[in-house]
């Protein structure tokens, strides 16, 4: 035990952490890669890559199937990953943590399995105009199929949720679902999920949280958030692609119909009738992304060792620095809230220069940013633009990359504005 008093979390050393990421050993267009697109997907450290390789080489078998030792070893690894990931979001029980293929599938699972049985005419499904399409389109579609009313909490012209509109929304009928992201992928806004959870519960509705963008950067405690479901993806958290998680309250999951049907999710199958297995297996039909789930567990270990608080502090420092540097670029408009309420994401436009051209010019400098609508067309409409540029930071981002971003923007302005 170490008795040195630690008041704040350790600061992270991004330069040192970069050495964990083989991808940064390469050059792009003759320049070191400046990867400012972690909000769309994060790179993978050796610790995760080694875990994947090691698992395949020493412990791989299908899980929950074999009586033989190897299958038991694989199952223990898979279930161990579930335990770690459940602890990471302070879930009351591991069996409430379902492996999926990612946040999108997690949200679809709730929309179909809960929505089809619980929604109907007179009911209201509430999302927000700030949602990623993956927490918007499934709800819009299931509402249409069940005859429920679909509505969105509007944004003001700064992209802030207009909670003053809730009173009006309530008039539309019986509010049954509220779905919101904890952190916006387009603006970085940290949204008031606790408040919305309380509002939803006062009306007997369930609260569904899209934490795809929060989980990599911001400590999550599902009990504090007071939500009923929470969805996230491994690949944005330094883990493998094609795996993610859905956390849900046990009593809701137990009452729900299954989503995918097939092997492994059953209790017994007869010609006349099939009965479902227990949670979480009821929702894990077929062979799962086993190694990916184990790698996801290793990614959660990696983030936990660094400390989510330290990651958040690092990103906020970069954000403040980036906003200063970007303010010096002529014709630049930055969107999004104050740094205190925001993850490491900067969305902006350069007057007279289309985001595609900005991203292209930056790519020639080896700087990778995103240009587009970020799967948030309702938000873009509110901001009155078709697309924005987005630079996003992570634990391995260093200030020099932001300097190169700013230099590239000055160049784009000079050439095209």
Partner 1 sequence: MSEFDQLYREVILDHYKNPRGHGLIEDADAEAEGQNPLCGDEVSIYVAFGEDGDTIDEVKFSGRGCAISQAATSMLTELVQGRTAQEVATLPRDDLLDEIGIPLTPVRLKCALLGLSTLKLALHKAKGTPLPEEWAGASSDLDLK
Ligand X SMILES: Cc1ncc(COP(=O)(O)O)c(C=O)c1O
Residues in the site for partner 1, rule: CB under 8 A? Answer: 29, 354-357, 360-361, 364, 371-373, 377, 380, 386-387, 415-416
Annotate 49-69 with b (16+ C-beta within 10 A) or e (fewer).
Answer: bebbeebeeebbbebbeeeee
Q: Tell me which residue of 128, 103, 116 sits closest to 196, measured CA to CA.
A: 128
DSSP 342: B
Separation CA 362–CA 37 (nearest Å): 12
Task: Say which entry of partner 1, ligand X, none residue 212 contacts (CB below 5 to 8 A, set by partner kind).
Answer: ligand X
Task: Indicate the residue among 185 and 197 with the shorter CB distance to ligand X.
Answer: 185
Measured from the CB atom, is 197 or 213 closer to ligand X? 213
> Which of 227, 238, 375, 376 is an active site residue?
375
Nearest one of 39, 132, 47, 103 to 394, comparing CA atoms? 39
Query: From the list partner 1, ligand X, none, which binds 373 (C-beta under 5 to 8 Å, kind-based)?
Result: partner 1
Beta bridge partners of 98: 246
Pick 103 or 383: Cβ nearer ligand X: 103
From the list ligand X, partner 1, none, pick the one residue 387 interacts with, judged by a Cβ distance below 5 to 8 Å according to partner type: partner 1
Place of tokens 């948030």: 376
Name the binder of 10 from ligand X, partner 1, none, CB < 5-8 A by kind. Answer: none
Non-local (6+) Cβ contacts of 87 within 8 A are none
- Among partner 1, ligand X, none, what does residue 261 contact (CB within 5–8 Å per kind)? none
CA distances from 141 to 112, 116, 244 (A): 10, 11, 22
Locate all alpha helices (DSSP H) within 243-342, ordered by sequence.
250-255, 290-306, 308-327
CA distances for 299 relative to 232, 240, 303, 354, 407, angstroms: 13, 8, 6, 36, 33
Structure tokens at 80: 């161990």
DSSP class of residue 386 equals S
Binding site for ligand X (CB under 6 A): 40, 102-104, 132, 134-135, 181, 185, 210, 212-213, 233, 235
**Closer residue to ligand X in complex, CB, 75/213:** 213
Q: In angstroms, rounded to a whole number, what is the distance separating the alpha carbons of residues 190 and 81?
A: 27
210 binds, among ligand X, partner 1, none (CB under 5 to 8 A by kind): ligand X
- Residues 6 or more apart whose Cβ sits within 8 Å of residue 266: 274, 275, 276, 277
Complex with ligand X: residue 209 or 412, whichever CB lies closer: 209
Q: How far is CA 412 from CA 210, 224, 308, 313, 402, in A?
A: 35, 45, 35, 30, 15
Is 159 or 295 the residue whose CB approaches partner 1 more closely?
Answer: 159
In angstroms, what is the minimal distance from the CB of 99 to partner 1? 30
C-alpha 67/C-alpha 153 separation (Å) is: 52
User: Closest distance between ligand X and the C-beta of residue 271, in Å?
Assistant: 37
The smaller minimum CB distance to ligand X, of residues 40 and 266, is found at 40
Contact of residue 154 among ligand X, partner 1, none (CB under 5-8 Å per partner type)? none
Query: Is 375 assigned a catalytic role?
Result: yes
Q: How far is the CB of 244 from ligand X (least distance, A)?
A: 6
Secondary structure of residue 74 in the 3-state scheme: helix
Please choose, from the candidates 242, 252, 233, 118, the residue with its C-alpha nearest in 3D space to the C-alpha of residue 181. Answer: 233
Catalytic residues: 375
């Amino acid at each position: 035990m170490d008795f040195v008093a630690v008041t704040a979390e350790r600061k992270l050393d991004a330069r040192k952490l970069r050495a964990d990421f083989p991808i940064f050993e390469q050059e792009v267009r003759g320049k070191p890669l400046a990867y400012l697109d972690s909000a769309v997907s994060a790179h993978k450290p050796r610790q995760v890559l080694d875990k994947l390789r090691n698992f395949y080489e020493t412990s791989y078998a299908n899980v929950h199937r074999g009586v033989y030792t190897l299958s038991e070893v694989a199952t223990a690894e898979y279930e161990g990953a579930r335990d770690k990931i459940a602890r990471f979001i302070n879930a009351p029980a591991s069996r409430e943590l379902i492996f999926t293929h990612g946040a999108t599938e997690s949200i679809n699972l709730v929309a179909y399995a809960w929505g089809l049985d619980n929604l109907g005419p007179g009911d209201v499904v509430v999302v927000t105009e700030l949602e990623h399409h993956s927490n918007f389109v499934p709800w819009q579609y299931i509402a249409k199929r069940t005859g429920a009313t679909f509505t969105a909490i509007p944004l003001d012209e700064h992209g802030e949720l207009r909670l003053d509109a809730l009173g009006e929304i309530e008039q539309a009928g019986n509010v049954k679902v509220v779905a919101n992201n904890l952190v916006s992928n387009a603006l970085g806004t940290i949204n008031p999920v606790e408040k919305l959870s309380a509002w939803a519960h006062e009306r007997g509705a369930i609260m569904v949280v899209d934490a795809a963008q929060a989980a990599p950067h911001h400590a999550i405690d599902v009990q504090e958030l007071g939500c009923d479901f929470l969805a996230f993806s491994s690949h944005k958290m330094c883990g493998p692609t094609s795996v993610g998680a859905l956390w849900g309250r046990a009593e809701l999951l137990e009452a729900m119909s299954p989503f995918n049907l097939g092997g492994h999710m059953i209790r017994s199958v007869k010609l006349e009738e099939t009965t479902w297995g227990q949670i979480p297996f009821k929702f894990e039909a077929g062979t799962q992304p086993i190694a990916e789930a184990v790698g996801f567990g290793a990614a959660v270990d990696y983030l936990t060792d660094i400390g989510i608080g330290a990651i958040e502090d690092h990103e906020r420092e970069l954000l403040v620095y980036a906003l200063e540097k970007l303010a010096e670029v002529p014709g630049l408009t930055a969107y999004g809230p104050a740094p205190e309420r925001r993850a490491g994401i900067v969305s902006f436009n350069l007057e007279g220069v289309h985001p595609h051209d900005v991203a292209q010019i930056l790519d020639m400098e080896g700087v990778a940013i995103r240009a587009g609508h970020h799967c948030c067309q309702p938000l873009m409409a509110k901001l009155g633009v078709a697309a924005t540029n987005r630079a996003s930071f992570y634990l391995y981002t260093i200030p020099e990359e932001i300097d190169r971003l700013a230099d590239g923007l000055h160049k784009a302005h000079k050439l095209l504005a």
